Structure 1
C-alpha cells in the first residue's frame, strides 16, 4: 500500500506542480513543443529534474497537464447553478464556459496542439480529457440532474453538452483561433449564450421559461 504523504509534503508537491506548469506554459508558447525540454522546464520552475519527472514522466503528459491547467482550477469554489429554471441554469454555465474560452493562453495552446500533434505521435495520441474541467463537469451533472428532476428529457448528457458548448464555441472561440484579429463584444457574447441556452431548452426542456426575450440581448445597430 503506497505511503500517504503528510500535509506538508502534499503542499510542497502542489506548489512545485504549479511552478512547473507556469514554467511549461511560458516555454511551450515561446519555443513550441519541439524545442521545449523537460530540463528547461525544471530550470525555469526552480525545481530538480527528479522532482519534475516524479509528476510528469514525459513531455506529452506535461503538455496535456498544461493545456488542462489553463482551463481549470480544482481548488476553486463549487459552481452554483440556479435550480428550477433550465434555461437560466444553462445561461449561467454558458457564461462560465465563455470565461474559460477567453482565458489567457487558451487560444495559443490550442494552436500549439493543432500545429504540433501531427509531427509528434506521443502528443497526437494523448487524450485531452476536457470533461474534467470544473465548468464542463458541472454542465454534465446539471443536465443529468435536470433530467432526473423531470425538467428536461435528456437521454445522453454528453450529446446535449456537446451541442450546447459547440454553439457557443463556434461563434466565440473557433473564429478567434483561425483569425487572430477577430473579436466579439461582450453584448454579442451574451446574445450567443442566451440563444444557445434557448435552443437546448427548447429541444430538451419540459418546462421552458419564456418570460425573458432573447431580443433583450440582441446586438444593436451593427454592434
Structure 2
C-alpha cells in the first residue's frame, strides 16, 4: 500500500514527465508541474530539490558502494565492481522501465541536462572508486576502474533507453557481463 507521500511524489513525477514530453524540459516550469499535480510549488520542493532532480537524481550510490565493498578483494577491480553492481541491482525491486526509459530519453534530448547527468555520474564514479580502493587496489587504479564502469553503465543505459521491449535490468546485466567477462 502506497502512502500519501509516495502518491504525491509519483503524481509530481508523472505530471513532470508528461509536461516535459509535450512542452519540452526547458519550457516547463516548476509552477506548471506543481499545478498539474494539484500541489503548491512549496510542496514540489519538499519532494524534489530542483526540476533537474526529477530526472537525474540517483538514490542508488550508497547501495552500489556497499555492494562493491562486500566483494572479495582478491578479484580485480573491474570484476569486483561488476559483481557489486549486479548484486546491488538484484537486491532492489525493479523500477518501472517505462518511467526510467522516459526520463533517460528526455535527458538525452535536453542539452541543459547533460551537465547535470555528468555531475551525477561523477558522484557515482567517486563512490565506486572509494569502494574499490583497498590495500591491493591503490586509489589511482580504483579511479580508472570506476571510470570504465561508469562509461559502460552509461552507454548501456542510453542504448537501452531507445529500445521499447527490453527490461531495465537487461542493460545493467549487459554492462556487468561485459566488465566481468573480459578474459573469455
Task: In structure 1, list runs of 5 or more residues that go unmatched.
Answer: 1-14, 118-122, 203-213, 215-223
Closer/same/farther in 2, CA of residues 36 and 23 from structure 1, 3 Å limit: farther
Match of 1:8 in 2: none
Once superposed, what is the RMSD of the aligned Cα atoms? 4.3
Distance (whole Å) between structure 1 residues aligned to residue 131 and residue 62 of structure 2: 20
Alignment match, 1:66: 54
> Is the partner of 2:54 in helix, strand or coil?
helix
Equivalent residue number for residue 93 of structure 1: 84
Q: Runs of 5+ in structure 2 lacking a partner?
A: none
What is the alpha-carbon distance in structure 2 between the residues aligned to residue 63 and residue 187 of structure 1?
28
Q: Which of 4, 10, 13 is 1:25 aligned to?
A: 13
Offset from partner CA, 1:160-208 (integer Å, 9 cap, x none): 21212323443x4233223x23637978965652441354xx8xxxxxx
Q: How does 1:1-223 map to 2 (within 5 A)?
A: 21-32=9-20, 33-34=25-26, 36-43=28-35, 47-52=39-44, 62-69=50-57, 71-72=58-59, 79-80=66-67, 81-87=70-76, 89-95=80-86, 103-104=95-96, 105-117=99-111, 123-124=112-113, 126-128=115-117, 129-130=119-120, 131-133=122-124, 136-143=125-132, 145-146=133-134, 149=135, 151-153=136-138, 155=140, 157-170=142-155, 172-178=156-162, 180-181=163-164, 183=166, 190=173, 192-197=175-180, 199=182
Q: Secondary structure at the match of 2:101?
A: helix
Structure holding more helix per residue:
2
Specify whether residues 108 and 55 from structure 1 end up closer, same or farther in structure 2 by C-alpha distance, changes over 3 A only.
Answer: closer
Would you say the 8 A contact 2:13–2:54 is kept in 1?
yes
Alpha-carbon displacement from aligned partner over 1:101-151 (angstroms, at most 9, x marks no partner) = x7432221121122233xxxxx35853332445xx55312122x23xx1x2
User: May I ask how many residue pairs the two structures share in their alignment?
Assistant: 167
